[in-house]
Each structure stands twice: as structure tokens, then as C-alpha cells.
Amino acid sequence: MTHHMNGMMSHQEDMTSHEGAHASKSAPLYRLLIQTGTDDKAFTERTHTIYFTQGLQYQRGRWSVDAVLPVAVRHSDSETFKGRGLGDLHIRNSFALLGGHGKFSVSAVALLKAPLGDAKKGFGSGEWDAGAFLETMAVAGPYFGFAEFGYMALGDPPGVAFQNPLTYMAGGGRFFAGRRLGLMAQLAGSGEITAGAGATRQAGL
């Protein structure tokens, strides 16, 4: 699910502004995140994808809005899924229930996904999706960690009936060069989306 990979960008933006939120609360924050991922559940062949994900965040007080758009380069044994293209646009609106300006926070998150990616190439679903999540974040010096649990309401492509799954994501990493650079790893997954397909899992760096 592209939500998992794009969620990494939102988490990195949140971590970057986590301790300095007072200084940046009314200024948009731009980030470019390079990610790699391997998937053998969503595609008929094992695929390796590099994501160049752009994100823009606006934060004010306890509210934060993120817009995330990936550009994907995919290598696969299948000609159908290999290539490059835009992914789906993700817009996340979060509210800090606890913390928000310190070293630890708990937030409620609403997600809306707009279908901009090519569904035939696997860069997008071709449908609108929405989700609701509870996420926690922690920062300790140059190190950070996060965890998220939620529910996705998935749009159904023609002839396909998706189930609306529970989702999870957890990871952590380290900042470098005064928080201008960072390295992050995550594990994410969801319940069954299509009948008989089983649960999904993704790992990313």
C-alpha cells in the first residue's frame, strides 16, 4: 500500500519539526525523501522500487497538514510493472492529542488519497481512499522512532471488491548534518485487502 511508503515522509517531516515546532509553526516545510522497497504481495512478480518522495508540511499549534507526492522507479521481471511514474497524492491532517512540541507525542491523523498514479503500472490504485490513524512519535537526541495503527477505507476499482483493512507501521532512524539528512527504516502492513490474498507486509529504508 502506497500509504505506508508515503507515511514515512510525513513521519520524517514531523520528526524534523518535532522539537523545533515553535519556530516553524507558520512556515511551510519542504522535504525530499529517497526510499527503497520490495513487494511480493501487491504484484504478481517480486518488485524493487525506489521512491523519490516530495513532501510539503504546514504546522500551526497542534495542527499539521502534509501533502506528499512520490515519483517511483520500479524494477521488475514483469514488463507490466517496471518503469517510472507519479504515485498517488496523499494529504494528511493531524492533531496532537498529547505533546506535540516536545520529545514525545500522540496524534490523531486523517488521510485522504487522490488517485494521480497510473493504476495499470501499479503506481496508484486508480481510486480515492481515506483513513484514520493513531500515531506516536519519540525523539531522543539524533534518534527517533514512531508507530502508527489505523483503518483504511479503500475505493473499489471496476470489478474488484476491496476489504477495508486495519493497518500498522513502526520504525525509527537517525538524523545527520544538523537534521538536514536522516536515515530511517520501517516495517508496515495491513489486514487482508482482497479475499484469499492474506495480509500484506512491506519493509522500507
- In this structure, how many other beta carbons lie within 10 angstroms of the beta carbon of residue 180? 8
**d(C-alpha 5, C-alpha 42), whole Å:** 13
Q: What is the pTM of this model?
A: 0.75
Whole-number CA gyration radius for the chain: 16
Give the pLDDT score at 10: 60
Give the pLDDT score at 83: 80
Give the pLDDT score at 97: 95
Give the pLDDT score at 22: 40
State pLDDT tens for residues 31-80.
Answer: 888 777 766 545 556 777 888 888 999 988 889 999 999 998 887 766 66
State pLDDT tens for residues 115-134.
Answer: 998 888 778 888 999 999 99
